[in-house]
């Protein structure tokens, strides 16, 4: 299936105020792949993501989603193919009730009401929040808002999911639920995040961005064991890959035996 | 700002009331909007000294409240909150209009007092009717109904988004206000300049958010129209109840029911 491919070639974008956010990025993501985009604040992650569904149009270079290059004419198809999950769910949930919000996309696609209802209920069930269907979004908890915003995107049945900081502002339990949920999806996934432990769970491949350029692109395990690369990119090893302070303190000898990079 | 909960229109409570289920709630929103409009029209078209003939309208309003299961306390509390405006409007009538129109036993009542009371009553009835309308329909229902009846689409979208984001805006404003309060001492830093910056910041944040929301809407295929999955459909019961309500309201406007009742009772007692 060629149409779930995301291909970015030599992409550059400079904001009107002169800040060059993206400077010549190229990568190719295949069908069903799950890729993390990591980097410091202001490294250009968000700007890159905004190109993937045509919120920004490339100033130089090109973006191809599946068989289509991203142009004005293909925008509609591309926005249906690429589901974008925003960092702040409040930006994404603008309708008066959860049901209407999830139905917003499918209705705009022009689907008949029965089909819309079916899709809404199915996507609410998929993320486990059927019981919230008549609630107003502003009364939901952070985790519930996140789940509903994912359902709203799923209802458009996209092939590719693009997420900006999906675990931001979630409590540990909600974060765990989110990771399990995302792990169950078979979509092509592109996740921009600072949560490197989440990357370890979800993404076999990682792209590291610094100052608008790709520093590294490869298997997550390799990248997270490259201390110099992480240091240069303002990142820290995932907590799970760091030495346990308890073991390395009181049980230092044991820790030495087991090697410093063990998991708990 | 800090006490948005106790505002005149307590949005959270309104939503909770609108989510209930009753024969009034189940009516088509358009029927309710039209009935409320007719109600207001009837009440404001009475002559300025009329009091007794308006009382049946209060009965009508309490009937609707009763059928919908909306606690009268909800309406009364808000009426008291905004009553000062109406009092101010009619305050000078008793001083200027001293012509005696009525004798209640030994007490002579001037036209000014009558029109003052009439204003208060009108105010209570009209504001009460609007509060009841929103409490049994929900803000969104009212918007949708008005759009269906020809209000420009852009107003409906604006109102819906305003209603959705007023909570987020209030929350953001409250956070900024609190942040300022925590770092102001002895009245310093509470001046109008600080508030200017605060409001400016809030405006910029709002613009940013508006952009993000628009983007999110575009991502899901927004083209200027907000569609609803369940377009309200008029059923026979809606039309019937609407006709009944219209008949009742017009009859109450046309005939002075209080007077008729009084005459009937006096004839009964020889």
pLDDT digits (tens, 9 = 90+) for B156-187: 888 888 887 887 888 888 888 888 888 877 77
- Give pLDDT, residue A253: 54
ipTM: 0.78
Contacts of A152 in chain B (CB under 8 A): 220
CB contact under 8 A, B164 and A95: yes
- Give pLDDT, residue A57: 87
What six digits make up the tokens of A1? Answer: 């299936």
User: Tokens 């009525």 appear where?
Assistant: B102
Contact A109/B at CB under 8 A? yes
For the cut 50, the answer to whether the pLDDT of residue A263 exceeds it is no
Query: Residues 6 or more apart from B176 whose CB is under 8 A from it?
Result: B198, B201, B202
DSSP codes of every residue in chain A: -GGG-EEEEEEEEE-TTS-EEEEEEEEEE-TT-EEEEEE-TTSSHHHHHHHHTTSS--SEEEEEETTEE--TTTHHHHHHHEEEE-SSHHHH--SSSHHHHHHHHHHHTT--HHHHHHHHHHHHHHTT-GGGTTS-GGGS-HHHHHHHHHHHHHTT--SEEEEESTTTT--HHHHHHHHHHHHT--SEEEEE-S-HHHHHHH-SEEEEEETTEEEEEEEHHHHHT-HHHHHHTT----GGGSPPHHHHHTTHHHHHHH-SS---
Q: Which residue of A has its CA nearest to B209?
A: A91
**What is the pLDDT of chain B when averaged over all its residues?**
84
Q: How many CB atoms lie within 10 A of CB B172?
A: 16
Contact B220/A at CB under 8 A? yes
Q: pLDDT, tens digit, for every residue of B6-17? A: 554 566 777 778
CB A210 within 8 A of CB A233: yes
For the cut 60, the answer to whether the pLDDT of residue A155 exceeds it is yes
B81/A83: higher pLDDT: A83
CB contact under 8 A, B19 and A134: yes
What six digits make up the tokens of B20? Answer: 């209930």
CB contact under 8 A, A84 and B216: yes
A35/B21: higher pLDDT: A35
Fold for A2-233, please state it: Rossmann fold (3.40.50)
Rounded CA-CA distance A90/B203 in Å is 17
B188/A237: higher pLDDT: A237
What average pLDDT does the segment B128-134 reach?
91
Per-domain residue ranges of chain A: 2-233
Q: pLDDT, tens digit, for every residue of A49-69? A: 999 988 888 899 999 998 888
Rounded CA-CA distance B42/B57 in Å is 9
CB contact under 8 A, A117 and B229: yes
Contact B167/A at CB under 8 A? yes
CB contact under 8 A, B221 and A79: yes
Rounded CA-CA distance A27/A48 in Å is 11
Q: How many CB atoms lie within 10 A of CB A140?
A: 20
What average pLDDT does the segment A215-234 reach?
91
Between chain A and chain B, the number of residue pairs with CB atoms below 8 A apart is 77
pLDDT grade for A1, boundaries at 50, 70 and 90: very low
What six digits make up the tokens of A18? Answer: 């002169």
CB contact under 8 A, B219 and A79: yes
**What is the pLDDT of chain A when averaged over all its residues?**
87
- Give pLDDT, residue A96: 80
The Cα of A90 is separated from the nearest Cα of chain B by a number of Å equal to 8
CB contact under 8 A, B219 and A109: no
DSSP codes of every residue in A231-246: HHTT----GGGSPPHH
What six digits make up the tokens of B74? Answer: 């909800």
Contacts of B140 in chain A (CB under 8 A): 96
Q: Which of A57, A88, A108, A118 to mutate to test the interface with B (most CBs of B within 10 A)?
A: A108
HEC string of B125-170 equals: HHHHHHHHHHHHHCHHHHHHHHHHCCCCHHHHHHHHHHHHHHHHHH
- Give pLDDT, residue B2: 36
User: Tokens 């070639």 appear where?
Assistant: A9
Q: Which residue of B has its CA nearest to A88?
A: B212
- Give pLDDT, residue A11: 93
Rounded CA-CA distance A190/A161 in Å is 6
- Give pLDDT, residue B25: 87
For the cut 50, the answer to whether the pLDDT of residue B5 exceeds it is no
* pTM for the predicted model, two decimal places: 0.74
Contact B104/A at CB under 8 A? no
Q: pLDDT, tens digit, for every residue of A85-143? A: 998 898 888 888 899 899 999 988 888 888 999 999 999 999 999 999 888 888 889 89
B14/A185: higher pLDDT: A185
CB contact under 8 A, A108 and B220: yes
Rounded CA-CA distance A197/B148 in Å is 50
CB contact under 8 A, B229 and A94: no
Contacts of B228 in chain A (CB under 8 A): 100, 107
Contact B226/A at CB under 8 A? yes
Contact B169/A at CB under 8 A? no
- CA distances to A40, A129, A236 from A195, rounded to whole Å, are 11, 24, 10
Among the partner-chain residues A88, A103, A134, the one whose CB lies closest to the CB of B229 is A103
Reading phi first (left if > 0) and then psi (alpha if -120 to 50, else beta), residue A234 is in left
What average pLDDT does the segment A161-178 reach?
91
The Cα of B172 is separated from the nearest Cα of chain A by a number of Å equal to 12
Query: Residues 6 or more apart from B106 whose CB is under 8 A from it?
Result: none
The Cα of B163 is separated from the nearest Cα of chain A by a number of Å equal to 8
Phi, psi of B172 (to 5 degrees): -65, -45
Q: pLDDT, tens digit, for every residue of B133-149? A: 988 988 888 888 888 88
Contact A99/B at CB under 8 A? yes
Rounded CA-CA distance B205/B176 in Å is 11
Contact B21/A at CB under 8 A? no
């Amino acid at each position: 299936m060629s149409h779930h491919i995301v291909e970015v070639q030599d992409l550059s974008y400079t904001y009107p105020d002169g800040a060059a956010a993206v400077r010549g990025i190229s990568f190719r993501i295949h069908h069903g792949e799950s890729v993390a985009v990591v980097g410091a604040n202001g490294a250009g992650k968000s700007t890159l993501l905004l190109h993937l569904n045509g919120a920004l149009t490339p100033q130089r270079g090109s973006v191809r989603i599946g068989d289509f290059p991203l142009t004005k004419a293909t925008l509609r198809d591309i926005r249906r193919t690429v589901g974008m999950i925003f960092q702040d769910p409040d930006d994404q949930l603008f309708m008066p009730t959860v049901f209407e919000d999830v139905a917003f996309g499918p209705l705009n696609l022009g689907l008949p009401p029965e089909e819309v209802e079916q899709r809404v209920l199915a996507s609410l069930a998929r993320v486990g929040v059927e019981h919230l269907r008549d609630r107003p979004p502003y009364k939901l908890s952070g985790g519930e808002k996140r789940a509903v915003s994912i359902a709203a995107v799923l209802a458009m049945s996209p092939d590719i999911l693009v997420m900006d900081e999906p675990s931001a502002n979630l409590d540990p339990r909600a974060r765990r639920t989110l990771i399990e949920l995302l792990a169950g999806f078979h979509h092509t996934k592109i996740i921009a995040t600072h949560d490197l432990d989440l990357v370890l769970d979800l993404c076999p491949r990682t792209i590291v961005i610094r100052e608008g350029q790709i520093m590294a692109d490869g298997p997550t395990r390799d990248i997270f064991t490259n201390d110099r690369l992480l240091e240069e990119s303002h990142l820290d090893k995932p907590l799970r890959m760091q030495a346990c302070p308890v073991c390395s303190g009181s049980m230092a000898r044991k820790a030495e035996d087991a090697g410093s990079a063990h998991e708990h | 700002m800090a006490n948005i909960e106790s505002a005149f229109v307590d949005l959270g409570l309104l939503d909770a009331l609108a989510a209930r289920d009753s024969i009034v709630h189940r009516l088509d929103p358009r029927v309710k909007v039209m009935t409320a409009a007719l109600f207001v029209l009837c009440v404001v078209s009475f002559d300025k000294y009329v009091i007794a003939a308006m009382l049946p309208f209060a009965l009508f309003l309490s009937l609707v409240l009763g059928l919908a299961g909306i606690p009268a306390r909800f309406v009364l509390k808000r009426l008291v909150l905004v009553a000062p405006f109406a009092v101010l409007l009619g305050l000078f009538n008793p001083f200027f209009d001293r012509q005696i129109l009525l004798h209640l036993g030994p007490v002579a009542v001037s036209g000014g007092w009558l029109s003052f009371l009439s204003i208060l009553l009108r105010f209570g009835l009209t504001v009460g009717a609007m509060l009841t309308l929103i409490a049994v329909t929900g803000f969104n229902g009212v918007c949708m109904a008005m759009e269906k009846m020809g209000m420009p689409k852009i107003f409906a979208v604006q109102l819906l988004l305003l209603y959705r984001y007023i909570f987020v805006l209030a929350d953001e404003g409250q956070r900024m206000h609190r942040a300022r309060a925590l770092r102001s001492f002895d009245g310093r830093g509470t001046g109008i300049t600080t508030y200017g910056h605060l409001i400016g910041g809030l405006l910029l944040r709002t613009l940013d958010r508006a952009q993000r929301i628009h983007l999110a809407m575009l991502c899901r295929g927004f083209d200027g129209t907000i569609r609803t999955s369940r377009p309200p459909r008029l059923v026979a019961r809606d039309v019937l109840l609407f006709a009944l309500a219209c008949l009742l309201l017009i009859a109450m406007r046309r005939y002075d029911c209080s007077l008729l009742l009084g005459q009937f009772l006096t004839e009964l007692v020889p």
